[in-house]
Amino acid sequence: STLTGCWPPTHGVRFDLAPEDSLLPRAQTLAHALKEREYRTAFFMDNTTFAWMPPDVGFDEIVQPPPNAVDFAVTYVQPAAILYYYFLNNRLGFHFDPSLRLNAAYRTIYKPQYMEKEISNFLWRMRSETKFFMAVHLVCIHVPFCVSYPYSTYFRPGFGPVLNRFGYRPLLEQIVLKKEAKEEFSDEERWQIYTQEINLYDALTRSSDSSFGAIIDSIRKAGLYDNSYIVFLSDHGENLPEPGLRYLYASSTHGFFMWGDGDTHIPLAIKFPDNRHAGRRVERLVRSIDIAPTLLDSLGLPAMKTDGVSRMPDIEGKSDDRERWTYAETGESAPMFFVADHLAYEFDDYFQAHEIDPPSLRIHKKKKYMPNLIMSKDRMVRTEQWKLISYPIVTSSTLSFRTELFDVIADRNNCEDVSSSHPAVVQELHAKLWPFIEQDLKEFGSGSLRSVERPGRYVSRDRDDPKNPSPNPVHEQVSH
């Protein structure tokens, strides 16, 4: 969406590890648009476990670990094999297994300086270019929070009641698992686990900040800083533990549900050439699909066909008062986060939904599950005050879409449905949301219609923290 300026249903790439025939967006990318204007283009990414940059997206040069099933497996078995990989984390080891060198999939031993050096070398070469476009995706602040040395020693992550200093065993899920075993952590132990999770997140933030600083230093040393646009953003955030959440304190995560703004409220900062507009802060709602149109507008280049719009009026202090809205949808979720009667998946677990392409060892989602995966998405339309969430519901073998409305100013965790008090708002936002659902129904159909058997294991009905009241239960309202 950032590269195309388009909503997911428009560009067509709806999941990580998409099937081979839907890896490429069906919309022009910013890299394509700039390459047509004789820009040199390059892309850097340090982890291809769950996504990678395919060829033909518009980048002349792509630097990333080779996407393969080995990394996918290592994500789950790394704790048991960490000593093996530790002894390979050197030049001799890189000769034995070149994929280790730039690969953050091996997180507890990952050394970011090798990728930073690749980026620095590219920037040094760009001194002789009149114009270039470089995109860097660092996959560091990401669950499971796995921290490499020396950042694993920062913020006193310790071990606490769960023996985990590096993050590969989801901390907060241990609370739920222990409760299901008819046992309990003490209040003190629970808060130690919450604190441990946040400390790991802070340590990863420090690691990412160091890498970002190294890249900025390389831009300066190459003499490119003053005349460059620099855009700092994240592709998503995380839902971190805090009191009053609608879902139980499971692992910090993203993409599983639409409650709260933890995974959709991201940082966005733009540095313009010669520090134009320095210090300007835009308080209005903006979207990742607005970035490409904004840059092309500022550069004075022809616009692409996008769903987003240029935000240069905001940056120049000329924004209007019209209400703004954005759309978002879940990725591949899990039944434990589904509301009652939610459309169920056709597969039993994450691995069953994927397959390996033998020649390349790349992992893809099985094409036969795509209609079901698409229609199982929760979706939202959000304005600066309101959020309407839609859930796909199956009753009597019929698919419908239940909605809930939240006042995001008064209820930022989205615990109280206020649909009955604001029917006009529901109608207005539903008119924006329904075309996305309708488009997917036409393209994919409804798939098999079966409701989830065990919904909402992590949807809050009571609080782990007795000081915080229980949110209202999910209302059974169906929108038409």
pLDDT of the residue at 461: 44
Distances (CA, A) of 195 to 176, 228, 288: 16, 39, 31
Determine the Cα–Cα distance for residues 416 and 387; give it in Å rounded to an integer: 11
> For residue 191, which amino acid is it?
W
Distances (CA, A) of 364 to 57, 202, 241, 315: 18, 32, 31, 40
In the numeric block, the tokens 């990412």 are attached to 208
pLDDT of the residue at 426: 98
Determine the Cα–Cα distance for residues 162 and 160; give it in Å rounded to an integer: 5
Determine the Cα–Cα distance for residues 72 and 360; give it in Å rounded to an integer: 13
Bridge partners, residue 318, by sequence: none
Number of Cβ atoms within 10 Å of the Cβ of 381: 23
Question: Which regions of 314-385 does DSSP assign to beta strands (E)?
Answer: 325-329, 354-357, 362-365, 379-383
Encode 74-118 in three state secondary structure: HHHHHHHHHHHHHHCCCHHHHHHCHHHCCCCCCHHHCCCHHHHHH
pLDDT of the residue at 203: 86
Distances (CA, A) of 252 to 7, 40, 204, 242, 391: 25, 38, 14, 10, 22
pLDDT of the residue at 103: 83
Determine the Cα–Cα distance for residues 297 and 23; give it in Å rounded to an integer: 28
> How many H-runs (helices) and E-runs (strands) does the chain carry?
11, 12
> For residue 304, which amino acid is it?
M
Which ranges of 332-412 does DSSP label H, i.e. alpha helix? 370-375
HSE (side-chain half, CA atoms, 13 Å) at 217? 9
Determine the Cα–Cα distance for residues 97 and 135; give it in Å rounded to an integer: 26
Which ranges of 4-68 does DSSP label H, i.e. alpha helix? 8-11, 30-36
pLDDT of the residue at 458: 58
| Domain chopping of the chain, boundaries | 8-323, 329-479
Distances (CA, A) of 56 to 38, 44, 66, 251, 371: 16, 15, 16, 36, 25
> For residue 411, which amino acid is it?
D
pLDDT of the residue at 140: 83
- CA torsion 59-60-62-66 (nearest 10°) is 100
Q: Kindly state the tokens that stand for 400.
A: 């419908």
Bridge partners, residue 231, by sequence: 270
Residue pair 479/390 in contact (Cβ under 8 Å)? The answer is: yes
Give 10-residue mean pLDDT values along the chain (480 residues). Answer: 98 94 95 98 93 93 87 63 65 73 79 94 96 95 77 70 55 75 85 82 90 97 97 92 73 86 94 96 95 98 97 91 92 89 93 90 93 97 98 94 98 95 98 98 88 68 38 34
∠ Cα 101 170 411 (to 5°): 115
Q: At the topology level of CATH, where does 8-323 sit?
A: Alkaline Phosphatase, subunit A (3.40.720)
Determine the Cα–Cα distance for residues 254 and 238; give it in Å rounded to an integer: 5
pLDDT of the residue at 129: 92
